Amino acid sequence: MTTEPTLDHPTFAICREAFPGSKFRATEFRGQSTLIVEPGSLHEVMAFLRDDPRCGYDFLSDVVGIDYQGYPAATIGRFAVVYNLCSTERTDRFFVKIFLDPSIPTGGIEEDPALYVASVCDLWPGAEWREREVFDMFGVRFHNHPDLRRILTWKEFPAHPLRKDYPVRVRGEREHYQVVDRTDT
């Protein structure tokens, strides 16, 4: 016997009440609740989730990127950025997700104006490195980030390697990579 999810997490109702004109979507899967937010209102919603005492999500556990290219189910956009929020007082976890759709081909490192979102480093300073990782691996850029530069690959790396259109072979990084050993200074 299967039942439909009830979407009864109290934070859903609090957000609907606080942002009556916003277009939110909500999902629950295996006890995990996710609020899907429009990219333009992300920072305002995240500040609310942190500051409102009814929510009190005072800890940002993680920021991850997802590439939905070729995903069998329909999505709102190709890329997603997911924020994993925790309330240390209630030991409660809540996810916030935004979708972004590229406006130019994603095979290289060109800056795409459609792949920008507001940084939450001013709300949670620990987001700095996590946002840098999403930038480096997926090419999503964060407005007002204090130090947005690559973190896992070198500065001139020719692409964003966790994009699904990144070729597994024949890109040339291994052939042109300079090997550094202990005797080099």
Query: What would the pLDDT profile of 151-166 be if each residue is shown by its tens digit?
Result: 998 888 888 989 998 8
Reply yes or no on whether the pLDDT at 173 is more than 70. no
Q: What is the pLDDT of residue 5?
A: 39
Q: What is the pLDDT of residue 136?
A: 96
| Helix, strand and coil percent figures for the chain, each rounded to 5 | 20, 25, 55
Could you tell me if 142 and 116 are in contact, meaning their C-beta atoms sit under 8 angstroms apart?
Answer: yes
Q: Which residues contact 57 (CB under 8 A, 6 or more apart)?
A: 49, 50, 85, 86, 87, 92, 94
Q: Which two tokens stand for residue 19?
A: 């942002």
pLDDT digits (tens, 9 = 90+) for 98-123: 999 999 988 778 889 999 999 999 99
Reply yes or no on whether the pLDDT at 75 is more than 90. no
Q: What is the pLDDT of residue 8?
A: 82
Q: What is the pLDDT of residue 54?
A: 96
Reply yes or no on whether the pLDDT at 2 is more than 50. no
Query: All domains of the chain, ordered by start, with CATH?
Result: 10-161 (3.30.460.80)
Question: Residue 1: pLDDT band by 50, 70, 90 thresholds?
Answer: very low
What's the CA gap between 151 and 137, in Å, rounded? Answer: 9
Q: What is the pLDDT of residue 27?
A: 94
Question: Residue 177: pLDDT band by 50, 70, 90 thresholds?
Answer: low
pLDDT digits (tens, 9 = 90+) for 14-43: 999 999 989 999 999 998 999 999 999 999
